[in-house]
Structure formats: structure tokens, C-alpha cells
Amino acid sequence: MFCCRAMFTRTKNALKVIVPLGVMTNTEMRYFKSLATAPLFVSSSLRVLAGCSNAKKDVEKQKKQEFVLLMDVNDKVLGTRTKEEALLFAKKHDLTLVRMEEAQHAEAKKRPIYKLMNPKQMMLQDEETTDNKEDKNKTVVKNVIANASITDNDLQVKLKNIKKWLEKPCEVRVGITGTTGGEKQLEAIYDKFVQAFEGQARFLQKRIKGAVLKFSIVPPAQKNTDTSKKKQES
């Protein structure tokens, strides 16, 4: 009896049988033909397992994502979104995403609540928090709000008012609103304030956050004047 060997190659969905020339019986021919048309069940099962692993990865990614309740500048609820989506939405509209500490909504227990704020709201909120912390030795505080595109004439008017307030003396808190990515413009405005009051005032707590430049202007320290008075008296 002639013994024959068959060669197998893998295709996408089936096994391809290559039979070398030789003497074969009808039974052997039917057997090899059935193998050639049989589907490749092994590869299908592997694809199913790969699909399950990918689904598990997607579920893990969803668990890692932080979902937040988003509110607009008018305290209107915009719905639930991922924190990444909320950040992109805020950046697109030149707003700042701020987490609310005291949330009055029912969903506050389920997820964090974030609010979109414009530069003016950011500045007012910062002033409220600082005012609440200052309980002792309160001084008169004046607020100045301006835009980074302020004209030179309007800027000179504000500088004159600040000079009067410093002579009383008062603390002046300045907030300059700009646009996202306009840090250089805000720095240029700050330099104009410093040049206007060089040697006449102190600049404190300068920071840029959410396209808003904030800083305080206070009268100079009284140490030099006190020591000069003592020398004159002696």
C-alpha cells in the first residue's frame, strides 16, 4: 500500500490542504477534501478571547475616568461629563473649571461638582476667600478691575486713583483679565504698574490663573520713616 503525506497551510478562515502527487485511494481523497473545506474553529475562538480582553480593558478605562456634574457660569446644570471632557469644554470657551466646595445639588454625594467661571468670577471668588480669612487688623481694601487691552488713557486714570488710595493708606487689589495664552500681555500690564509706583509702593501676591492676573499694591513699609523720626527726636 502506498503511504501518502499531506501538507497543511493556514488561511484566514480555513485550512488549505496541499496533496503531493502519488497514489491515493478514494477514501483518502474524500478525507483530505473534507479537511480543506473545514472552518478554522481555533482561530475563531482566539478572536473571541481577544475581543473579551479588549472589552475588559475598556471597562477598566471607564472606571478610571472621573465623572463630574458640570455647571455653567449662571449655575445652570449642563449634565454629567468626564472631567477630561469638562476641561476641554472650558478651554474651548476660555473659561476656568473650578470645583465647588459646598454643593447643594442632590448628585453631590455621587460625583464632584465643577463650575465654569469667567475671569471676573474667578477674581471675585478669590477676593471673597481672602476676605473671609482676614478677621484681625482689617484695612481698607480697594478693588481695581481692568482688561489687558486697556488704553493708555484709561490706565493712567486708574493709576491716579490707586495713588490716592495708597496715600490714605489703603490696600489695592488689582485684577487684569486677559485671554487664554495671553500671559505675555498680562506681564506687560504688570510692568506698567510696577514702573508707575516704583519706590512708592510694594507689590504682593502676584499670580496668573485662568487668564487672570492678580496682585496687591500696598503702601511701603513704615520702618524707614519710624527710624528717621527717632533720629530727629534724639
Q: Architecture of 67-134 per CATH?
A: Roll (3.10)
Question: Taking a C-beta distance cutoff of 8 angstroms, is the pair 114, 72 a contact?
Answer: no
Question: Given a cut of 50, is residue 42 above it in pLDDT?
Answer: no
CATH 3.30.110.10 domain residues, the chain: 140-218
Question: Taking a C-beta distance cutoff of 8 angstroms, is the pair 98, 113 a contact?
Answer: no
| Per-residue pLDDT, 139 | 76
What phi, psi does 195 have (nearest 5°)? -65, -35
Distance in angstroms (rounded) separating the CA atoms of residues 112 and 103: 9
Of 63-67, 126-130, 176-180, 191-195, which range is least confident? 126-130
| Per-residue pLDDT, 111 | 82
CATH of domain 140-218: 3.30.110.10
Distance in angstroms (rounded) separating the CA atoms of residues 17 and 37: 9
The string of pLDDT tens digits covering residues 112-170 is 888 888 877 777 766 666 655 555 456 788 999 888 889 999 999 999 999 999 998 89
| Per-residue pLDDT, 90 | 86
Distance in angstroms (rounded) separating the CA atoms of residues 142 and 161: 10
| Per-residue pLDDT, 41 | 46
Question: Given a cut of 50, is residue 40 above it in pLDDT?
Answer: no
E strand segments, the chain: 7-10, 15-18, 67-71, 77-82, 96-99, 113-117, 141-147, 171-177, 202-209, 212-218
- Kindly tell me the burial class for residue 187, based on how many C-beta atoms sit within 10 Å of its own C-beta (0-12, 13-18, 19 or more): middle
Distance in angstroms (rounded) separating the CA atoms of residues 158 and 152: 10
Distance in angstroms (rounded) separating the CA atoms of residues 156 and 133: 32
3-state helix, strand, coil in the chain (%, to 5): 45, 25, 30
Per the confidence metrics, is the pTM higher than 0.75?
A: no
Q: What percent of the chain has pLDDT over 70?
A: 58
Q: Which 8-state DSSP code applies to residue 106?
A: G
CATH 3.10.20.80 domain residues, the chain: 67-134
Kindly state the cell numbers that stand for 76. 445652570
Q: Of 97, 98, 111, 10, which is closest to residue 65 (Cα–Cα)?
A: 111
Question: Taking a C-beta distance cutoff of 8 angstroms, is the pair 167, 218 a contact?
Answer: no
